[in-house]
A and B are shown apart, each in its own frame.
Chain A
């Protein structure tokens, strides 16, 4: 009998139309093809032409369809009718909502704009939201970087003019050894997965340094299960080993870093600063002539070793100071092995492997280039070691210095901006000096005196009032955390509630789940948001919140401005902001409404424009008083930050043929849509490496509008701005820190990377490290309630290492009480062997509040899921000095999530078998989702 089988149509129609836009299921900003059937979203896949994801797409991206139909979508503006936190609202019209907002905001602007605190969470339009805030005139604006990864960003920018993620990427095509520090599944997730796949296919190796062997660490060839918070010590020890063995790139150090820059050794207010010439250029000794000279003079070969004698004082180069510090036995592997939890042999072996690959496997690319001193190079030397790190290293109170140490390690090996190493993506590299400094001068009825956020270069840039008190509600850029470049969103509610440094009137937030998983101490925050004063008024008088979904934060606002989903809106992922460039290209992208909203919701940025127009904010208004832009799309196309430079770099000029700089093109959005929703401008060959020093790159960047003039600079192994703060702490200069901070500033603001143990006050008896990470299918996602994704991770156990399981007599499914100096939770446990022996962890942000996100109240997220946040406080335990110290990095104010120490003990299952603490359900303003789903759009 012949084999019979049904006849199949193997070429069914896939869709009526493909609309290409940008994903927003997380922060990665991949290009997506949205397949439409009958005007509805049928299927989402990655866009093969897109520079970020090149066709691939993660679980979140593919689940976007469940986000567009999510029952948790807000439907109309809401006005609170019950008490805060109850979730009782009435739907109101947009006109009513906007008039209400204006009636709150306008008097603030006329009276004292600082009374508005405007903080955005999951914001990909910060150049716009900050522009709005600046025009409103409040100094109180920031996005969420302060509790995310400011240490990484600032550590990188202060050291080498860029950091990881959107600042740069490994040279995946050439690298042979990729070393990863800490949890890094958070940012740049698809590109890193693609990169790991690519290098592994070539047989290149991956070393993972992480207490938890999950995700990328699970595929690492070697895993270093380090003790949390000791990465800096481990790195400095490898620096010790490499320097001692002479396995450092001396040529690179002398040419491209401030290792040869001379440090002023004379006592007084300039001690420790660079010797500079009359133009302010740092000075080096030219090895050819032995003369003192500016670092960037044509033909100069800076000497790493030579010193300079003047007036009986010997001024030594940075490299001398480094040798003195890092060759010390203090950093010998044997002396730090126990603290890091890594055997000394292994530390040496890894340092050796870095050296072997960087130097023994060095290679050359036949590409000519000219450096900023005018020297021509016939080749590019590749050192195929690349590193990456994100939150794991960042979220410790010693994270800034650890990030600096990590960059110094890369720089010593000569692997930054060389083939096979770590490469910047435009608009980076960009030295600290090319960034704005913070501005905080508030004038009623006027814009702020400049951008809110920036990079301080010394005490003169701190955001202090005349009396020395903090100018900003979050106390960013103060002596408590001088280099808080991203602000401190995690301190806003707590400070506003305490009226410290002052009281505010209105808290305005966008996509920031501050009453739940995006805050430390959620219970305390809920109390602060609902607390009333002696008159019975809320201590934080007014709260406006914008979100697309019924998140936990919704219940705590007085006015809700419902946002659209990402497929229903315009957005721009701008070079002015956090673009999607690659190491080989500048790129930006848009979102556009591939479907129209079916509810009374509006894109938040358009709503801000409407509010600005109603208030007549200066830069939003033409001279004749008419509005400049009707909505965000209008702004994206027609706004010019500087003449010829707008939010989008592509298709500028009347004919759409100019890139970077060019006149406004009214057809720009259509051109983006035709091009797949993005724009790419490639960096010419020969300009693609050595970017901070490469004339060809610098000229190209000027042409693109990235710089106004070439900005070559040296990598800052020694950070002069940090030294300036130390000098202040030593008593020099006009602006002086308060007495209680002097010692800490002196210690922590060391201009060369150090490692220090984070403040352990109150941790007696709490000996186990506790960490969180989000699962890859949910990282940075605002869609964990998503019907498909929640099946992957609908509850989270506490993962406990085998040793602690045995010690505490625990078995999978048992319950444990976990306590910290701040709080207590009771949660289910699960054993994990591939885990640091003294570390427990869980998936973050799985736990949900009952009633939120349109889930039924018995949802496992609400009954079994839990947040570790309940154990973490925004302040450290009281030290008895009458002061409360922030639980954050003393340099940047980065929230120190990962410094958490706990103790665990076996516990009886809670009577209702639900994770503790429990909170009462909030009333859902959108009801709950349907029982069953069988989502097929096409028939």
Chain B
């Protein structure tokens, strides 16, 4: 898949933002006043900024509101609802904390739930796609959720939770890569089934339908060199998990904490780039490409 910056920014930032909102909603850290304002401002900047970024890839952003209509079947629509509900509820909760010095904890819990649901629905947009075997796995939501919570804990300064969550995320990431690398082969889809010609012999794509490129190739066919991908995986893993955990186990230091967050963000963004760039859509088979 084409690793479009808009979706990478979106999933990375909003995952982190909603992760922070989960913790804020649960009352970690227990903040109020301007301190709460600062935390919520960061969370909203990330969540809303991410959502805004996601509209950049739309052909008609001005019609984005129509996306709320089809919540019955569409994960994208559900994501929209969850995000809006999470932001509204958490907004009310934040108003209580920041301006009224009120902790409406029930509202916080509900907001946290919707925040988590937003991340889950985002992940399901990808997970549901049978066309992309690497995404069509239970590990996809596990990865999105664990990353979001780990990042949220990190941002929320919840070191004791953040370390195990980072370790869990690291494990999920490893499993995701391992299983993901097999996913296409295990899906049972190949050029033989794609063309129905597999029963006759081995099938090879010959001339493409057009000599130039097209929307499908631009959107779905992105080739990452194996070595390049492996290097990026190491970088992503170190930045997202190894370095933050090391920084967290060191004696607390604001600079280290900031560095841990920055490192994690860069690592997750790299992981997300790989998430898209390495995802192979079955349509590539028709073009002799994956």
Contacts and interface: CB of A to CB of B under 8 A. Distances in A.
Q: Do A and B touch (CB < 8 Å)?
A: yes
Contacts of B210: 791-792, 794
B252 interface: no
Nearest to B211: A794
Interface residues of A, number: 9
Interface of B: 204, 206, 209-212
B103 to A, nearest CB: 41
Contacts of B209: 792
B211 A791 contact: yes
Contacts, number: 16
A785 to B, nearest CB: 14
B206 A795 contact: no
Q: Which of B204, B209, B211, B212 has the most CB of A within 10 A?
A: B211
A699 B204 CA distance: 57
Nearest to A834: B206
Given A792-B210, A860-B211, 14 more contacts: A791-B210, A791-B211, A791-B212, A792-B209, A792-B211, A793-B211, A794-B210, A794-B211, A794-B212, A795-B211, A796-B211, A832-B206, A833-B204, A860-B212
Interface string A793-828: 111100000000000000000000000000000000
Contacts of A791: 210-212
Interface string A490-510: 000000000000000000000
Interface in A755-809: 791-796
Contacts of A794: 210-212
Interface in A828-865: 832-833, 860
A860 B210 CA distance: 12
Nearest to A794: B211
11 contacts: A791-B211, A791-B212, A792-B209, A793-B211, A794-B210, A794-B212, A795-B211, A832-B206, A833-B204, A860-B211, A860-B212
B11 to A, nearest CB: 32
Contacts of A833: 204
Contacts of B204: 833
A650 B93 CA distance: 88
A240 B56 CA distance: 73
A833 B207 CA distance: 12
Nearest to B206: A832
Contacts of A792: 209-211
Nearest to A812: B288
A265 B204 CA distance: 60
B201 to A, nearest CB: 10
Contacts of B206: 832
Contacts of A795: 211
B211 to A, nearest CB: 4
In the A-B complex, the 10 residue pairs with the smallest Cβ-Cβ separation, listed nearest first, are A794-B211, A791-B210, A795-B211, A794-B212, A791-B212, A792-B210, A793-B211, A860-B211, A832-B206, A792-B211
Contacts of B211: 791-796, 860
Nearest to B213: A791
A643 B211 CA distance: 54
Nearest to A861: B211
A792 to B, nearest CB: 6
A794 B214 CA distance: 13
Contacts of A793: 211
Contacts of B212: 791, 794, 860
Nearest to B204: A833
A794 B213 CA distance: 11
A791 B215 CA distance: 13
Nearest to B208: A792
A817 B212 CA distance: 24
Nearest to A833: B204
Contacts of A796: 211
A776 to B, nearest CB: 12
B188 to A, nearest CB: 25
A181 to B, nearest CB: 23
A38 B253 CA distance: 75
In this complex, which of A792, A794, A795 has the most chain B Cβ atoms within 10 angstroms of its Cβ? A792
Contacts of A860: 211-212
A630 to B, nearest CB: 46
A795 B208 CA distance: 12
Interface string A64-100: 0000000000000000000000000000000000000
